Amino acid sequence: MPFFRILSKEIYDKKYGEDSFTDDEVGTMVMLTRAVFGIIEREIKLTGFSESIPAHYRLREEIQKVLLSKQFKDLPNIIKNRQQIISRLMEWAEANNDIIIYAE
């Protein structure tokens, strides 16, 4: 849910549970959240990720590819806010890497 909240706030400027989302918005956000989480989980589980600056750059690039992919590029604010979205996702992932690594 943290990734969903970050994405929905930055893209739609809404807070899930407080603002109304259409079914299409929720569906799109779920797909985007799964795609982003999958990439973050895969990269963070690599040995030495936390100490590797190149690994951090690679993860940022992979997240940006998803955000700007054909499927998601037309979402409101995604292009304009992409650097902020990536930074917030990275900050949360780095601070909570144990939760991500051991999540099942």
Model confidence pLDDT, tens digit, residues 3-62? 888 898 899 886 666 667 888 988 999 999 999 999 999 998 887 888 889 999 999 999
Domain range for 54: 2-101
* Spatial contact of 94 and 4, defined as CB atoms under 8 Å apart: no
pLDDT at 74: 93
User: pLDDT, tens digit, for every residue of 84-93?
Assistant: 999 999 999 8
Provide the whole-model pTM: 0.86
- The residues near 69 (Cβ < 8 Å, ≥ 6 apart) are none
What is the number of domains present in the chain? 1
pLDDT at 16: 62
- Judged against a pLDDT cut of 80, whether residue 104 lies above it is answered with no
